Every structure is written in C-alpha cells, then in structure tokens.
Structure 1
Amino acid sequence: MSNKSAASVSVQEPVDHSIEIGHGNSPAAWSSVGVMLIGALVSCVAFVIGESATLLFWIGVGVIVVGVILGPVLRAAGYGVGGSKLKNTGH
C-alpha cells in the first residue's frame, strides 16, 4: 500500500516573458483610476469631517462608481491598450 504525501510538488510551466501584456497603460486606464482616486479623496475627507458630511461621502462613492464604469466605456471607444484611437497613423 503506497502512502502519498499530503504535500505534493506541482511543476509549473515556464512563463513566456516575450509577450507584451500592456499593464493597462492607456488613456482609458489612467482616466478611470484618476476619477476613482478623486472619489476616494472626497469620501476620505468627508469621513474625517464627520456626520455633517454624510452626503459628501456618498457623492465620493458615486464618483468612484463613475470611474469604474468609465474604464470599460473608454476601452470600448478605442482608448484602451491597443485601441483603434491609439494607433499611430504617421501624422
């Protein structure tokens, strides 16, 4: 009767580092993150102010939601990594 060890060693395939993955460095990504950072800043300031700024806190949360939606919308419009609006036309 063979007893296999509970800790088995898994062999992973090597990673191909020659493939360009982009890292989200595009106007769509930068715009989305920028809007979300502004929303987070507004919410954080409202949180520190206290109970009198509850509406301001939720406005900041709303701005964050707008940023989350903005990224895919801009990517679909061609401003994402490899998007049609970012192609160099030679001009």
Structure 2
Amino acid sequence: MSNPIDDPGHGHSPAAWTAVTIMLLAFVVGTYFFVSHNEIGVYVSAGLLVVGLLVGWLMAKLGWGVKGPKYVPKGH
C-alpha cells in the first residue's frame, strides 16, 4: 500500500492531461506527415510536441499540477 501523503498522484491533473493530449496530437499528425513525405509538417509537429511539454510545465507552475493549489483530486 502507498501512503496517500507520499503518492505523487500519477499525473492525474489538468496540467498532465493537457500536456499529454497536445503531445499525442503532435505524434499522430507528425506520423501522418512522415508517411506522406511532408518534411515541413514533420518539423511543425516536432515543434508542437515541445509546445505540449511547455504547456504542461507552465500549467503545473501556475498551480494546475498534482501538488498545485488549484488541483482538486477526485475521490474514488
């Protein structure tokens, strides 16, 4: 059993969900552009991947991360 105080929350926060959604979209679109041999689209998708990482980091810093003041965990 894990101690609820030590439990990191496994990323169930708005910051994590937003970052993962943006990065998943970047991978899907990037894969499409890669298969269709669109080099510029692949680079734009790589940039979108970095944007997703930065958005997640920024939202966590603004309090929407697991230990942030704006995050309210849901009961099970």
Q: Could you state the TM-score of these two structures normalised by the residue count of structure 1?
A: 0.71
Query: Which consecutive aligned stretches of 4+ in structure 1 deviate over 4 angstroms post-superposition?
Result: none
1:49-60 equivalent positions in 2, closer than 5 A: 49-50=36-37, 53-60=38-45
Q: What is the percent sequence identity of the aligned residues? A: 34
Q: Which amino acid aligns with 1:74?
A: M
Gaps of 5+ in 2: none
Query: Which of 33, 51, 55 is 1:46 aligned to?
Result: 33
Q: Please give the alpha-carbon distance, in whole angstroms, between the structure 2 residues aligned to 1:86 and 1:36.
A: 21
C-alpha root-mean-square deviation of aligned residues, in Å? 1.7
Structure 1 unaligned residues grouped into runs of 5+? 1-15
Residues 1:79 and 2:64 aligned together: yes
Give 1:85 shift: 1.5
Higher alpha-carbon Rg:
1
Corresponding position of 1:64? 49
